Amino acid sequence: MTVHADDSGLLVRSAAGGDEAAWAALVQRFSGLVWSIARAHHLGTADAEEVFQTTWLRPPEHVSQLTEPERVGAWPATTARNESLKVIRLGTRTTVTDNPSILDQGSNQGTPEDAVIESEEGAARARRLRQVWSAFCRLPGRCQQLLRMLIASPPPSYADVAVMLDIAVGSIGPTRARCLQQLRTLLAEPDAAGSPARP
């Protein structure tokens, strides 16, 4: 079932009314984005999981009371961002690191990476993707937050991104371009092995 992105507000209201299928659709649609936002705030696994749980535990009926109707669809990501900032103010439980994903790789057994590496071509691709990700994790926090929202499936609208990051809609395009250029610069620098990332 494909639900148009504009129906997010409808899904939230339906879930608030007790519609479990609407809830499942919301979870499917926004969970990746909620996770991405928590991780883009440099939260370790334990803190990111807590932000994820707290976001989804916030009752949808509470959301409709507090948010303007047209912004109801941005609720999961906005909540994730606010909860992430709270965790940062409270002091993170795990060590803040520039590259949380590399450190936490051991906790994901049987990752998709294992399947990709099976072929020689796959090994080269995995190496490239690790270089891209390693460079990405060295970007400033704001760039990471913006880019992780833009690559989410499905991607939020620019209007929702503007609300979530509290920036002007018109600045999203130029900021994206600037952040991607910074990423290119980091990729051209020597990686941990001492050689620049191959294009």
Where does this chain bind another protein (CB under 8 A)? 15, 18, 20, 23-24, 27-28, 31-32, 35-36, 39, 46, 49-54, 56-59, 61-62, 83, 86-87, 89-93, 100-102, 105, 108, 111-113, 116, 126, 128-130, 132-133, 136, 147-148, 150-151, 153, 176-177, 180, 183-184, 187-188, 199
- Under 8 Å between Cβ of 164 and 117: no
The distance of closest approach from Cβ of residue 167 to another protein in the complex, given in angstroms and rounded to an integer, is 18
Amino acid in the structure at residue 72 = V
d(CA 75, CA 164): 9
Which C-beta is closer to another protein: that of 2 or that of 65?
Answer: 65
**Burial call 23-56: b when 16+ CB within 10 Å, e when fewer:** bebbeebbbebbbbbbbbbbbbbebbebbbebbb
The distance of closest approach from Cβ of residue 11 to another protein in the complex, given in angstroms and rounded to an integer, is 13
**How buried is residue 117: exposed, middle or buried, by Cβ count under 10 Å (0-12/13-18/19+)?**
middle
Which C-beta is closer to another protein: that of 73 or that of 76?
Answer: 76
The distance of closest approach from Cβ of residue 104 to another protein in the complex, given in angstroms and rounded to an integer, is 8
